[in-house]
Amino acid sequence: MSRPSDLNTAHSHGFSRRNFLAAAGGLVAVSALPSFAKDDPSVFPERGAVERLVLAYQHIKAGATEPFSILHISDTHLTAAYPEEGEGKMQAHNRRIRTFGGRQEEALRDSLAWAKENVDYVLHTGDLIDWQSEANFDLVKKFYGDRMFGSMGNHEFYTYLPDEVHTWKEPFKNRSWPLLKAAYPVDPRFSARVINGVNFICIDDVFGTVQPDQVELFHAEAKKGLPMVLCMHVPFFTEQIWRAHEKFWRFRTRKFRAAAVMPDARGDYKRQLEDRTTSDFIAYLKGEKLLKGILAGHLHITVQERFSPTAVQYVVGGNFMFHGQEVTFS
């Protein structure tokens, strides 16, 4: 495998932030990224970097004023940290870079380079970073551009510090809002963007649930009468998507037949069923004719299922493994 020429590698070799920036001329210069095949001729020896991207292709008939396309990616899990951020951050960097393979920034660069030539916009549905660090926030600021928008993931709220107490409840997020608002050019809780007459609504549901004020904001967007696409990190689980999730995460070493009993709800799915605001919102969405699609991530697998008579829910696999999906709209 080639040696990744990204911020993760620089930190692994003990470079300081100042030295790395001076040496690289910037955090995300695409021209500095080596060719995959050129670095290691044993891997795709006669093919280029584009073909290492694992792309699915979807189409949504949304009633757009003009056709357009987006690259939908999720779960990049950047694991950068500056040495001066302290031992705790560097330990997290060393541990999590092993989890995600060390090529996350490379995968994101390749994805954005492909998107520049092939689609009109980029949607990222969360876990762009694996945890909060100054280095990761710097990468967010560099990678996000005018044609990139998206939602937060649960990992945007993590610090991986020893004193972090995670509750999967809304108060846990409170300390993170100022940091996320400073790093991301989108509102981390709720944002809307109209593209060629289609209203993309990005909502924070990183623990599986939505809040009353977010529902009110969604209803206000619905009153505009535009076709809508809901973008979020955690999917609203349907039967097929939950089965796929459980097969991947819990039953990966067992045969799993479609006729099997529905796996018990747990975690995000259980919270969606038990939280009244969220369950009522899901019921409303199933009857909302303006909803034309749902785009989500979080599961690290690519799976889809019809959500309502007018909308299919598309979940995209992990970008840290070079996954993405092109979605065309008409």
pLDDT of residue 151: 98
- Is 288 a domain residue? yes
Residue 238 lies in a domain: yes
> For residue 162, what is the domain's CATH number?
3.60.21.10
**Neighbouring residues of 44: CB distance < 8 A, sequence distance ≥ 6:** 36, 37, 51, 52
How many CA atoms within 13 Å lie on the side-chain side of 29? 11
Q: Considering the entire predicted model, what is its pTM?
A: 0.87
Note whether residue 304 is domain-resident. Answer: yes
pLDDT digits over 106-124, tens only? 999 999 999 999 999 999 9
Separation between Cα atoms, residue 29 and residue 139, nearest integer Å: 11
Which residue(s) pair with 303 in the sheet?
315
The residue range of the domain holding 271 is: 55-329
Mean pLDDT lowest among 41-50, 137-146, 275-284: 41-50
**Does a structural domain hold residue 253?**
yes
315 alpha-carbon distance from chain centroid: 10
Read off the pLDDT of residues 138-187 as tens digits, 9 standing for 90 and up. Answer: 999 999 988 999 999 999 999 998 889 989 999 999 999 999 999 999 99
- Spell out where 182-268 has E strands: 190-195, 198-203, 228-231
- Within a domain: 170: yes
Instruction: Provide the 8-state DSSP code for 78.
Output: B
In a domain, 90, yes or no: yes
- Specify the number of domains making up the chain: 1
